[in-house]
Amino acid sequence: MSTTVRGTGLLVAGAALAGVCLVSILVGSHPLTFDQAVSAFTDFQGTDTDRIVRYIRLPRTVAGLLAGIALAVAGAVMQGLTRNPLAGPGLLGINAGASLAIVIAMGGLGVTAAAGFVWFAFLGAAVAAGFVYTLGSLGFGGATPVKLALAGAAFTALCGSVTTAITLLDRTTFDNFRFWVVGSLTRASLESIGAVTPFIVFGTILAVAVARTLNALAMGEDMARTLGTRLVAVRAGGALAVVLLAGAAVAVAGPIAFVGLVVPHIARALTGQDYRWILAWCAVLGPALLLLADVLGRIVAQPQEIQVGIVTAFAGSPFFLYLVRNRKVATL
């Protein structure tokens, strides 16, 4: 596929993302017109409509953009580093580790805002990544896709059990946690967005920096070494990018599953195996998918809402089963 075709497709996808963002601002239990949305920024009067746009819909949309970029790019980097098509922040336990750390912060320290969550999310994500990769690397064959998936499932179950125990023992923590754990953009605020944005930007820059070397790694470690790739540096940089991106996404939106798994495969199908293009497409497709899921959740259960994490899990589960059954994706 030529660079021109890839670039044109990416521009079209970017335009589609802009349209999805507009729909995210206009659609909900209180439908808005385009003129009303524009007026909320150009002629703010403090009406209910103005406040809905500026303090509810806009933060929610921006949070979806940031979380979608973070999850999709983190998933692509994880798949490249491990050469595992089943890798993703949710399936390899990173979301679960970040969630457990946030629950401990809620119950033990009384932290309730994303500005405080973010540091605990990073710590939990880092511990989870290290533990799962170490456990999956033990034994013959090293870190195979199946062993990493099993290690991630085991670690996720462990974190889930501890998280449940903490929330059952503390009602206040449970009340805060139950709205957050399903994965939701409804509690996004300008404060939480400001807290996580620098980390998502830096994590994305790190991911782009290792993209070229991920292409070499895809040909195998021996070939990558022959080409002069510093595997330790690549893995360290990629791991740091994943921790920053996944931790920030969990802090602002909760543990949303399957976006980091599904989007890189869609991007790879559209643009080929070059990780420079895969990451670019992930940065567009990730937020588009997440915001579409959020809008769908607002529509199907009106006047109530289905949280975005439930929608992505419902849509992503069949795709995951397809990947597991398809022998062609045993390695990348």
pTM (predicted TM-score): 0.86
**pLDDT band (50, 70, 90) for residue 215:** confident
Q: How far is CA 139 from CA 143, 147, 232, in A?
A: 9, 10, 21
Give whichever of 16-20, 76-80, 214-218, 257-261 has the largest mean pLDDT: 16-20
pLDDT at 113: 67
Region 77-100: mean pLDDT is: 81
Give whichever of 30-34, 118-122, 187-191 has the largest mean pLDDT: 30-34
Residues 6+ apart with CB under 8 A from 174: 167, 168
Residue among 283, 235, 317, 252 nearest 98 (CA):
252
Q: What is the DSSP string of 304-324?
A: S---HHHHHHHHHHHHHHHHH
Give whichever of 58-72, 116-130, 253-267 has the largest mean pLDDT: 58-72
Domains of the chain: 3-329 (1.10.3470.10)
Bigger pLDDT: 143 vs 100:
100
Gap between the Cα atoms of 183 and 309, Å rounded: 4
Residue 278 · residue 264 · CB < 8 Å? yes
Gap between the Cα atoms of 270 and 9, Å rounded: 9
Q: Would you say the C-alpha torsion 21, 25, 29, 32 has a positive or negative sign?
A: negative
Region 289-311: mean pLDDT is: 88
Residue among 168, 176, 68 nearest 116 (CA):
176
pLDDT at 330: 44
Residue 1 · residue 272 · CB < 8 Å? yes
Token look-up 């973010």 returns 118
**pLDDT band (50, 70, 90) for residue 114:** low
pLDDT at 331: 47
Residue 116 · residue 105 · CB < 8 Å? yes
pLDDT at 145: 63
